């Protein structure tokens, strides 16, 4: 039996009439491969992974890209410079406004019941032959204030003063009376109600023109003309600092918010049928200026928050009408202690030019600050202890 021959890859295969084979080292009589129908056995490693899965890894965040340029370091703050800036801000907030700035400001600041301040207001309005003096005692006014006294400005915690009106009121159509339509304008309104009805006093060109323009208007329209007059408003605010004017605006905004909330609460409860009354809560004390003015044969009360002036008494002492108003003033101040203030608009007792020179240094005087300081000490009960010591 001849030996078996193994085909080599280097020998060319006979491809005639058949498909070429590429079999290497395969014996002709090698048994065929058997394939099993059974699934291959899974690896033990696979079972372990299935029963104990590997927790998924949290993807790592990419590191932030470095800036090409490093951020500049902040220079340390200079304490002296900071203090300098703070002082400048405080000084700017407390200094009076310039005249051009006051004309653009449409608010009204609170005015202290200070005779020097009101005298400066008179000078700025154009009134040269009058001044304001403080009344410390009501008794014997006529002996301490010789004529002419054109009117009194009375400050107290607000309340209606119609109780001093006479029952029978005379005709009022010839009186110049303006109601108050701007917050904090009551002091200037009281002064104007005196000046516009006073005799033998020079009120200046601007006020004379204003009086002529408003003589036929109703009191509310006169009040609105005052509120929108830049000259009168600027004169009222001329001694107020910037922070005082801003405080006046903030107070007015708070008052508007309160009114809106009160109206909303009232509208919300209109459908409710509850008989309970709710307390209004604590409110801040509001002080108000009014004027007592002698006109003709009688004395009138001009309150800008009223709709008309009120006739309070006849003048029985034409030489000095202050004698006739003493009883009314005692009735108005009864039980009030020192919670009121009274000023008199008198004829000028010194040269107008001299007073104008003194008023130019008004910004450097500390009378209003001292007045406010003494009032605060009295309110907190510390004044008596300081006086005794």
Give me the active site residues, please. 186, 288
Task: Give me the residues paired with residue 344 across strands.
Answer: 133, 152
289: helix, strand or coil: strand
Task: Give me the residues paired with residue 301 across strands.
Answer: 292, 310
300: helix, strand or coil: strand
Task: Give me the residues paired with residue 130 across strands.
Answer: 347
Which CA distances in Å does 55 have to 49, 58, 59, 103? Answer: 11, 9, 12, 77
Exposure class string for 197-206: b at 16+ Cβ within 10 A, else e: bbeebebbee
149's CB contacts (< 8 A; 6+ apart) are: 320, 321, 322, 344, 345, 346, 347
Task: Give me the residues paired with residue 343 across strands.
Answer: 134, 153
Cα(252)–Cα(156) distance, integer angstroms: 20
């Amino acid at each position: 039996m001849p030996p078996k021959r193994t085909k080599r890859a280097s020998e060319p295969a006979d491809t005639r009439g058949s498909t070429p084979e590429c079999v290497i080292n395969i014996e002709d009589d090698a048994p065929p491969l058997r394939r099993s129908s059974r699934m291959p056995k899974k690896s033990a490693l696979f079972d372990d992974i299935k029963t104990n899965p590997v927790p998924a890894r949290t993807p790592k965040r990419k590191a932030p890209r470095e800036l090409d340029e490093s951020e500049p370091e902040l220079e340390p703050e200079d304490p002296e410079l900071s203090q300098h800036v703070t002082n400048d801000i405080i000084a700017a907030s407390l200094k009076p406004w310039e005249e051009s700035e006051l004309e653009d400001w449409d608010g009204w600041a609170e005015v202290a019941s200070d005779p020097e301040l009101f005298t400066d207001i008179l000078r700025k309005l154009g009134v040269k032959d009058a001044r304001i003096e403080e009344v410390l005692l009501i008794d014997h006014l006529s002996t301490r204030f010789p004529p002419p006294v054109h009117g009194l400005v009375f400050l107290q915690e607000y309340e209606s003063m119609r109780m001093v009106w006479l029952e029978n009121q005379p005709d009022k159509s010839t009186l110049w009376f303006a109601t108050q339509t701007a917050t904090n304008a009551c002091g200037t309104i009281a002064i104007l109600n005196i000046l516009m009805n006073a005799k033998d006093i020079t009120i200046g060109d601007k006020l004379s023109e204003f009086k002529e323009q408003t003589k036929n208007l109703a009191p509310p329209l006169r009040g609105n003309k005052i509120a929108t007059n830049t000259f009168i408003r600027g004169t009222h605010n001329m001694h107020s600092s910037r922070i005082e004017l801003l405080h006046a605006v903030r107070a007015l905004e708070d008052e508007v918010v309160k009114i809106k909330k009160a109206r909303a609460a009232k509208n919300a409860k209109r459908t409710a049928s509850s008989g309970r009354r709710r307390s209004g809560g604590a409110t801040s004390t509001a002080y108000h200026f009014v004027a007592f003015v002698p006109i003709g044969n009688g004395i009138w009360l001009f309150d800008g928050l009223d709709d008309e002036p009120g006739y309070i008494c006849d003048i029985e002492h034409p030489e000095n009408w202050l004698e006739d108003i003493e009883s009314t003033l005692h009735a108005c101040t009864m039980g009030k202690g020192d919670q009121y203030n009274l000023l008199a608009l008198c004829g000028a007792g010194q040269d107008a030019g001299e007073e104008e020179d003194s008023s130019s240094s008004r910004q450097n005087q500390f009378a209003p600050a001292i007045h406010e300081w003494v009032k605060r000490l009295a309110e907190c009960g510390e004044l008596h202890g300081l006086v005794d010591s």
